[in-house]
Amino acid sequence: MAAREAGDWLHAPLSVYEVHLGSWRRRADGGFLGYREIAAELVPYVAELGFTHVEFLPVTEHPLDESWGYQPSGYFAPTRRFGDPDDFRFLVDQLHQAGIGVILDVVMNHTAEGGTDGPVLNYKGLAPEFFYHRDGANYRDYTGCGNTLNMRHPRVLQLIMDSLRYWVTEMHVDGFRFDLAATLAREEHAPDRMSSFFDIIHQDPVLSQVKLIAEPWDVGADG
Is residue 179 among the annotated active site residues? yes
Q: Kindly name the residue from 174, 215, 218, 222 that is annotated as catalytic.
A: 215
Q: Kindly name the residue from 174, 179, 204, 218 that is annotated as catalytic.
A: 179
**Is residue 56 within 8 Å of residue 104, measured between CB atoms?**
yes
Q: Which residues contact 31 (CB under 8 A, 6 or more apart)?
A: none
Q: Is 44 left (phi over 0), alpha (psi -120 to 50) or beta?
A: alpha
Q: Which residues contact 158 (CB under 8 A, 6 or more apart)?
A: none
CA distance 132 to 127: 9
Residues pairing with 17 in the sheet: 54
Catalytic residue positions, numbered: 179, 215
